[in-house]
Amino acid sequence: MEIDLKQVDAVLDTYKRRREFLIPILQDVQALYNWLPQEVICRVSEGLEIPLIDVYGLATFYKQFSLKPRGKHIITVCLGTACHVRGGPRIVDEFSRKLNIKPGETTEDMQFTLETVNCLGCCAIGPVAVMDGEYYGGMNPAKVSQVVKKYHGVKD
């Protein structure tokens, strides 16, 4: 994917290049690419006059930021206690099997990234998975197929 740094500059301008907005700036920039490429981090560092090491420090501290390329669609499966006891690990396994990737990996065609998280704050509807921000409760293996198919013509 080509990186258009003008888009990064536009985000910086939206926040008037103020350092206190580093987190929302990184969130908005990440939304453009689904991850934070090195040249983007450098541009943010220059634009806000924050040392590169500090921007990297923050980006590595928060799990929401990714310094590795991620797919077009992000699947997050909850493995918090409530979801775990209701079969969360089976849901992860099923996504892994269907997409042929392990948690933390991205499919070769850059369509899907599989991630896990500890509690999404909606334990009552567990096990829960989130696909591109859309929540799916009461997950089971059959629903995994439906969710994957909805986003991409992945075969059984």
* CB neighbour list of residue 28: distance below 8 Å, 6 or more residues apart: 11, 14
Span from 10-18, 42-50, 102-110, 113-121 in contact with ligand FES (CB under 6 A): 113-121
* Among 59, 126, 129, 131, interactor with ligand FES by CB under 6 A: 126
Size of the site for ligand FES (CB under 6 A): 12
82 binds ligand FES (CB under 6 A): yes
CB atoms within 10 A of CB 13: 10
The 8-class DSSP code of residue 113 comes to: E
119 binds ligand FES (CB under 6 A): yes
d(Cα 73, Cα 132) in Å, to the nearest integer? 6
55 binds ligand FES (CB under 6 A): no
| Chain residues 3-22 in contact with ligand FES, contact rule CB under 6 A | none
d(Cα 58, Cα 26) in Å, to the nearest integer? 10
Backbone dihedral angles phi then psi of residue 74, each to the nearest 5 degrees: -105, 120
Binding site for ligand FES (CB under 6 A): 78, 80-83, 119-123, 126, 128
